[in-house]
Structure 1
Amino acid sequence: MGLWNGEEPAKQGGTESERTADGPVRSVGGPARGVGERETLPARDASAAEADPPTDTGGTPSRHAPAPRPAADPAPPTDPHPTGDPAPPGAPRLPDGRQPSDAPTATDGPSLPRDDARQAQPQALEQPQPQPQAQAQAQPHAQSQPQMTAESQPRGEWRSSAWQPPSAVEQELYDAKTRGDWARYVTALAHTPLFVADSRERVDAHPDTVVFTPYRDPRTRTDCLAVYTEGMLPAPAEDPVFHSGSLGWYARVWGPKDPPWLAVNPGSPCEAYFPTTPSHRAVWQQHADRAAATDAPPHPQLRALIVGGPLRGPVAHGLACGALLSVNNAELWNAMAYHGGGYTAERDRLSEWWGITSRADWQRTLELLLRAEMTSPVWEFTLGIRRSLALDFAGAVDVDHWRQVAERALWHNAAEAAEPRITPDGVTVAQPRSDAEVRSQVAGVRRLIGRITRYEARFRADGLLADGRFVRSVEAWDYGRASCMARWGLGARYCTLSEAEQAVLRAGRLSQANYRSWADFSAAYILGRCLHFDEEEFGDWYEEMVAAHRLLMSDPGSPWRNLPWK
């Protein structure tokens, strides 16, 4: 690593797919991070959806797309439950194969609204008083005027002490449901992506379309479309895959032939069923508009799975090596069973930022990151000179001395390259370089040393580096991205969960072997990122990492505060 031959290779995969403002990660209910709103799923003219009230579709999938070209409707997605049970597409299951709704659970949920006339001014959705099953069946299901009601406690066997919501989102939904505060419930939905299952074969054939495939719900006795919040998704599998969209997107694209009910997290204690009439969808849109207007500017968020994601152990450590990216993108840092922004969004992310369009591309890129071969060898050569000097002199390295030694090393390497060498394979042909070429390399390294020292001075001022400390290597930038690349590949179905986990473990081990602490790792990662992107502007590329670093180093729930480095 210490001897660089002076040749600057072409940059490979120079982007890191972490800036959602510039990347393909799509907005799911508010402005995309750093830019204006960008919808996750293909939009279509919503005016057609307002023409008639929903009708029973008989389970026929409905297709949502801008329809850039005529095409026959594809076959319905493969039934993920071929046993004939009434589970919605993509429904998560318990370890013994049951649905969550098969376990001891209350079935009162948000009780189904009674049959009333369509209202002119929709408000928050109502939860009528729970009815006995026989009485409920006698009531026809249609639109009711949404109103606010007094708080009511849910009936049944579910209690907060018996069920741990996977993340803060599901906790908020459960709390709102328990209190009967449906305005708060819908507001929470407006701030989070909602995932819907689709057939992978169909999506691969028609990637610009989304099909709504309803299921027959025994409680509504009608078709429902099941959607899930992120913490309720099953582990990624070959089929089905999931799309994500904002509540506002669902409100706009819903058509007259789409299901009459939207089922949120069906079969769980935080489930809810909402009518999908035009007036009810107007309520969704109002909440979505308010969410977009009140959302704070993009900022780092530390989000975790309390259930379903590792919080301790080697896998958690490997995932925490990618936490600067996860926090910056407000993603669940410990979601090993990663879906990201949905199947097509993750494929777009890898294609647009990394040029990855196949499993082979993903494997090749991941291996380069794990071997730390995507960081510039010039950076490693330059930092390696200082690292050697620090070991020799057991102290701080003078910048001028660093430059002089780096210059001598470059001239020495150029002289060696000009001499033929005898190897087991024979005589290696000499590759002499002109003096002008070497002088240019020397000037480049001298400038690089200046950049590194100025970044490190700023790091110390901002609390990223302790006084007297320096960055020994920027390989952390590759290891952190490798941890994330493993999950991105899983979300795009370029690998299995087991393969992704092994890559995360490897990234964690390499990070531990080459760095001394989370702070040491973080400073190295941020320096690599800034040398590539920031150009000493100390702009967003720098500031957002400082914010993520501070959050990870200070938040009591941070993996960096709870996981020992070694």
Structure 2
Amino acid sequence: MGRGTGKGGEAAPGPGAGRDEGPQPPQHHPSRTEHSPHGQPGQWEPQAHREQAYQEHHAPQAQQAQAEQGQGEQAPAEQPRQDPTAHHQLPTPQAQFATPGQQPPPHVPPHPVPPQPATPTEQPPWPTAPPAPGWLAPSAVEEELYAAKSREDWASYLDVLARNELYYLVPRAVADARPGQWGPAPVWNPHTGTPVLALYTAGMLPAPLADPVFVSCELAAPARHLGHPGDPPWLVVNPDSPCEGYFPTTPWHRSVWQHHVERNADHESRPKLRTLAVGGPLEGPLAHGLACGALLFVNGGHLWNSLAFHGSGYTEARKSLRTWWGVHSRQQWLGHLNRLLAADMVSGAWEFVLGIRHSLARSYAGPIDVAHWREVAERELRHHAAQTEVRLGPEGVTRVEPTGTAELEGQVKGVKRLIGRIARYEARFRADGLLAENAYVRTVEAWDHGRASGMARWGVAARFGTVPEAETAVLAVSESCRANYRSWEDFAAAFVLGRCLHFDDEEFGSWYQDMVTAHHVLTTDPASPWLTVPWA
């Protein structure tokens, strides 16, 4: 999906080239001055409309899906809590998922007939909701939507939607049984008096619950899939918020959405810092631990400080953990998280050669020549190989015989090659601004700890873990990283080296270049946690 403005910033000829992209439903101006869920006066709290009462329409569907798939393993249930690190905490939702043919509640007027534009260039005005004094948008995306809505620039509003991930609510059993299939749950909207398709941007999502779940999509999905009998007549973006938008789902309007999707498709997507201004920690140990995973989150286009993490939605979170980590259950997720927290996935060979150099640097108080480094590493290997080692384990005292000659020679050659790889990577790091002159990496445990910061949140998105569990893990990451490294620069070079040794094989391809780009963002953007959150 493209992430930027269309070429030249102008609308191409075709549907929706004008500013007003559709009529507004019957006007409603809910109060915009409610307190935020985090106790910040003047902030807006979403009206209750997201998770509750989906059972009315989807319980039979969910039961059928469970019968097809079986109940998936999930994190222990937790009581909702007011957490300053979570996204918008919602009150108990009141809106209902709509059943096709369902009669509207007695207090809701009959379905209105949405007014239709006569031609693509002759559109009725869309009244703008009153401003929201003091409202702080959760992230830059909602800020852009609100700004476009305030100027009645619906073309720009749709451009923002076309460049960003959107999310819809679905029962978890349905998401498990039919992953990747379009199937949002229509929501009854009292303002239109109809079922609506409710879509949300990332900053507007509440903290993840066990059920239902949010699934991600692009604007192209409703443009393509709506239009069947019984489909909701309205699409509502971030309902009951100051940046909300109402769009009829007529064929003409869906062609407008598709036009905006196509004109933004070729825009180059570059990593950028995305921050949760409301609901995400911006200082302190928790923000520090989250920032230890920022290279991954900037590269992935996600909010770096989102602890109540949704990522690209529930289905994609499960798919990614399954594909990249072989994680299919909560137990497997916990096992991987605990190993990463203990830096138990980093190669022992990497740590051996880096430890040799660090010891030499402390002894000689200066840079260590690569030939000297290799010589000492070889001597240490041969010395240990000649020893008969006694180990104390679960089975008692065991004796480990000396390493055989062929195995030893293979280890010596491998260590020498590894030292050469590390030296060449560090030279490239210095040329690209990742490592200061005469600086070197002491340990690559950062590679595990940075991934632990991510794994904690990926587990939340996949419903293998809870927000409190993620918070505990992220705080542990912060403590370990501060003990091992002296600065963000020190940590970053170690993380990137670990990634390159793991994946890149000295190709200096995307595994490396992506980190150079993310590193540049995190060291130059004034809002970067690497510039706003002190290391120590």
Q: Same fold (TM over 0.5)?
A: yes
Partner-residue secondary structure (3-state), 1:344: helix
Q: In the alignment, is the contact (CA less than 8 A) between 1:370 and 1:482 conserved in 2?
A: yes
Cα offset, 1:535, TM superposition? 1.3
2:509 to 539, 546, 550: 539
Question: Relative to 1, partners in 2 of residues 1:428 and 1:97: Cα closer, same or farther, differing over 3 Å?
Answer: same
Distance 1:263 1:202 in 2: 22
Question: Relative to 1, partners in 2 of residues 1:388 and 1:218: Cα closer, same or farther, differing over 3 Å?
Answer: same
2:307 to 336, 343, 352: 336
Question: Relative to 1, partners in 2 of residues 1:178 and 1:422: Cα closer, same or farther, differing over 3 Å?
Answer: closer
Question: Relative to 1, partners in 2 of residues 1:340 and 1:176: Cα closer, same or farther, differing over 3 Å?
Answer: same
Distance 2:240 2:428 in 1: 52
Partner-residue secondary structure (3-state), 1:429: strand
Cα offset, 1:154, TM superposition? 3.3
2:238 to 258, 262, 265: 265
Cα offset, 1:195, TM superposition? 0.5
Distance 1:140 1:325 in 2: 47
Which blocks of at least 5 consecutive residues in structure 1 are unaligned? Answer: 1-28, 32-58, 75-91, 101-135
Deviations 1:375-398 (A, max 9, x none): 110000000001111112222212
Partner-residue secondary structure (3-state), 1:231: helix
* Structure 2 counterpart of 1:518: 488
* Structure 2 counterpart of 1:256: 229
Q: In the alignment, is the contact (CA less than 8 A) between 1:152 and 1:178 conserved in 2?
A: no
* Structure 2 counterpart of 1:105: none
Normalised to the residue count of structure 2, the TM-score between the two structures is 0.78
Cα offset, 1:452, TM superposition? 0.8
Partner-residue secondary structure (3-state), 1:528: helix
Question: Relative to 1, partners in 2 of residues 1:507 and 1:550: Cα closer, same or farther, differing over 3 Å?
Answer: same
* Structure 2 counterpart of 1:475: 445
Question: Relative to 1, partners in 2 of residues 1:149 and 1:445: Cα closer, same or farther, differing over 3 Å?
Answer: same
Normalised to the residue count of structure 1, the TM-score between the two structures is 0.74
2:205 to 233, 253, 259: 233
Distance 1:148 1:319 in 2: 49
Identity rate, percent: 54
* Structure 1 counterpart of 2:295: 324
Cα offset, 1:314, TM superposition? 1.1
Partner-residue secondary structure (3-state), 1:412: helix
* Structure 1 counterpart of 2:523: 553
1:287-436 equivalences in 2 (<5 Å): 287-293=260-266, 295-296=267-268, 298-416=269-387, 418-419=388-389, 427-436=397-406
2:128 to 133, 154, 160: 154
Distance 1:539 1:512 in 2: 30
Q: In the alignment, is the contact (CA less than 8 A) between 1:195 and 1:244 conserved in 2?
A: yes
* Structure 2 counterpart of 1:206: 178
Q: In the alignment, is the contact (CA less than 8 A) between 1:60 and 1:214 conserved in 2?
A: no
* Structure 1 counterpart of 2:163: 191
Amino acid at match of 2:483: A
Partner-residue secondary structure (3-state), 2:210: coil
Distance 1:507 1:426 in 2: 33
1:143 to 97, 116, 128: 116
Distance 2:232 2:111 in 1: 21
Matching of residue 222 in structure 1 with residue 194 in structure 2: yes
Distance 2:393 2:220 in 1: 66
Question: Relative to 1, partners in 2 of residues 1:535 and 1:250: Cα closer, same or farther, differing over 3 Å?
Answer: same
Q: In the alignment, is the contact (CA less than 8 A) between 1:99 and 1:267 conserved in 2?
A: no
Q: In the alignment, is the contact (CA less than 8 A) between 2:447 and 2:499 conserved in 1?
A: yes
Q: In the alignment, is the contact (CA less than 8 A) between 1:198 and 1:242 conserved in 2?
A: yes
Partner-residue secondary structure (3-state), 2:386: helix
Distance 2:170 2:466 in 1: 19
Amino acid at match of 2:471: E
Partner-residue secondary structure (3-state), 1:257: coil
1:459 to 401, 412, 429: 429
1:166 to 138, 145, 166: 138
Deviations 1:510-546 (A, max 9, x none): 1111000000000000111111111111121111111
2:252 to 274, 279, 296: 279
Count of equivalent residues: 449
| RMSD between superposed Cα atoms in Å | 2.9
Question: Relative to 1, partners in 2 of residues 1:339 and 1:512: Cα closer, same or farther, differing over 3 Å?
Answer: same
Cα offset, 1:211, TM superposition? 2.6
Q: In the alignment, is the contact (CA less than 8 A) between 1:243 and 1:344 conserved in 2?
A: yes
Q: In the alignment, is the contact (CA less than 8 A) between 1:190 and 1:247 conserved in 2?
A: yes
* Structure 1 counterpart of 2:455: 485
Distance 1:334 1:464 in 2: 23
Amino acid at match of 1:352: T
Cα offset, 1:239, TM superposition? 1.4
Deviations 1:394-440 (A, max 9, x none): 22212211111111111111122x35568897542233321121011
Distance 2:390 2:92 in 1: 67
Amino acid at match of 1:299: R
Question: Relative to 1, partners in 2 of residues 1:556 and 1:413: Cα closer, same or farther, differing over 3 Å?
Answer: same
Amino acid at match of 2:252: S
Q: In the alignment, is the contact (CA less than 8 A) between 1:63 and 1:212 conserved in 2?
A: no
Q: In the alignment, is the contact (CA less than 8 A) between 1:224 and 1:263 conserved in 2?
A: yes
Q: In the alignment, is the contact (CA less than 8 A) between 1:62 and 1:258 conserved in 2?
A: no
Amino acid at match of 2:172: R
1:116-135 equivalences in 2 (<5 Å): none
Tell which deviates more after alignment, 530-539 or 198-207: 198-207
Q: In the alignment, is the contact (CA less than 8 A) between 2:280 and 2:306 conserved in 1?
A: yes
Q: In the alignment, is the contact (CA less than 8 A) between 1:149 and 1:181 conserved in 2?
A: no
Question: Relative to 1, partners in 2 of residues 1:147 and 1:216: Cα closer, same or farther, differing over 3 Å?
Answer: farther
Deviations 1:97-146 (A, max 9, x none): 5789xxxxxxxxxxxxxxxxxxxxxxxxxxxxxxxxxxx99974243345
Distance 2:475 2:400 in 1: 41
Cα offset, 1:193, TM superposition? 1.3
* Structure 2 counterpart of 1:447: 417
Partner-residue secondary structure (3-state), 1:211: coil
Distance 2:340 2:477 in 1: 9
Q: In the alignment, is the contact (CA less than 8 A) between 1:63 and 1:211 conserved in 2?
A: no
Q: In the alignment, is the contact (CA less than 8 A) between 1:475 and 1:524 conserved in 2?
A: yes
Q: In the alignment, is the contact (CA less than 8 A) between 1:350 and 1:357 conserved in 2?
A: yes
Partner-residue secondary structure (3-state), 2:183: strand
